[in-house]
A and B are shown apart, each in its own frame.
Chain A
Amino acid sequence: MRVVHYLNQFFGGIGGEEQAGIPPEIRPGAVGPGRLLEQVLGDGSHVVTTIICGDNYAAENVQEVTAMVTQQVKEAQAELLVAGPCFQAGRYGTAAGAVCAAVQEDLSIPVITAMAGENPGVDLYRESIYIVDSGDDVSRMRDVLADMARLANKLAGQGVIGRPADEGYFSQGKLRSEFVENTAARRLTGMLLSKMRGEAFEAEVPIKSIEPVPAPPPVPDMSRATVAIVTDGGLVPKGNPDQIPRAFAQVWGAYSIEGMDSLQAGEYEVAHGGYDNRPVEQDPHRLVPVDVLRQMERDGLVGKLHPEFLSTTGNSNPLENSRRMGREMAARLIEAGVDSVILTST
């Protein structure tokens, strides 16, 4: 099998975060984990081309990178595209998912990647492509590649793909009819009994669990605290400089309100496809209450209003994606010394 392998700058041996901005580079043959990949794919499989791209470059230029990878795969007359494994690297996973989905769509050849469950690429692409569960331990590289190779060989050979749990990939949310021994009533009773006994059981309709986050302690004195406004209602300056999409947003923005007593209608717009934006566009304070908070700052009710508000669009967003944006926002706010947040949610 002729294989094209997509790697990020780290696994491609170019460098770490300081090299994350590099545009795609094309190398003939296998690089880094690609050598191991050739071994586990077995005789007759060769990595003909390796494409190495910086994580930031890929995240910021998704369309260009996917088009370029598609072109390379086509020129190489490849029969398989492998991306990663990406483990927990979010930008890498997102890029790997995007190139795999694009190549599968345009060229109809098998594609495969691998990520940890927390990788935002999983929720974004699990339904359209096969993503092997890599876990987060990079030292399992060989095992993960072996899982990918086994599934890839099946995909290429039109073999029967088993259930996600048996094959080690993330569920694509597909339903497949099959004959079972017991009626639904018996199966449910069995699960209930297992649950009561504290035994393991597998739900037929798994529900995504939301991990509770303990409440951070209260702010001891608001009159000395810095408070920031964060919104998921999509308020952005006119022209939407960060191009936050109206749904499935993967980006957020930070916008200055330094020295402003109010937000001028007409200077802002709303990038949110999930509600009627007109009232907020008429008066942005209906979402981002700079006016009253500035007054409260003056009156000494709050210590300081943080000089920028953060905004994204909470619409049809995969949980992992929202978590990632929350982490990024928190990092920025902590660095700026913010003690508390008012989050306005539409």
Chain B
Amino acid sequence: MEKAGIPVAQVTAMTAVAKAVGSNRIVRGQGIVNLLGDSDLPPEEEREIRKQIVRQALEALATDPAQSDP
């Protein structure tokens, strides 16, 4: 998709794999099976985590990765 010019923020718990395959905008997710949440938390707190991760993804999309190497 990036080759076609669409900026992609990849949310993943396996950031090393994302890096190895050359993903340009990587956001760390919460976990493999709970990528954007946490089934052990109450729904409100869980949603807060999801919001944070999605917000990070939106920030990544609006940022030039060359200028913000993590």
Contact = CB atoms under 8 A, between A and B. Distances in A.
Interface of A: 210-222, 225, 227, 230, 233, 275-280, 282-283, 285-287, 289, 291-293, 295-296, 301-302, 326-327, 329-331, 333-334, 338-346
Q: Which 8 A-B pairs have the closest CB atoms?
A: A330-B4, A215-B24, A286-B37, A345-B12, A330-B1, A216-B7, A341-B8, A340-B61
Given A279-B33, A341-B9, A289 B58 contact: no
B50 A285 contact: yes
Nearest to A329: B1
A302 B58 CA distance: 8
Interface of B: 1-14, 18, 20-22, 24-25, 29, 32-37, 39, 47, 50-51, 53-55, 57-58, 61-66
B10 to A, nearest CB: 5
Nearest to B66: A215
Contact of A341 (B1, B3, B35, B47): B1
Contacts of B20: 210
**Secondary structure call for the B interface:** loop
A219 B5 CA distance: 11
A276 B4 contact: no
Contacts of A222: 58, 61-62
Contacts of B65: 215
A144 B18 CA distance: 37
A330 B6 contact: yes
12 contacts: A213-B24, A215-B2, A215-B25, A225-B61, A230-B1, A280-B33, A282-B39, A283-B39, A286-B37, A330-B1, A341-B7, A345-B29
Contacts of B55: 296, 301
A108 B58 CA distance: 55
A117 B31 CA distance: 35
Given A214-B2, A215-B2, A219-B7, 10 more contacts: A213-B3, A219-B61, A227-B61, A275-B33, A276-B33, A286-B39, A291-B50, A296-B55, A301-B58, A331-B4
B2 A286 contact: no
Nearest to A319: B21
B53 to A, nearest CB: 8
A279 B65 CA distance: 32
Contacts of A214: 2, 24
Contacts of B36: 285-287, 289, 344
Contacts of B62: 218-222
A8 B39 CA distance: 50
Contacts of B2: 213-216
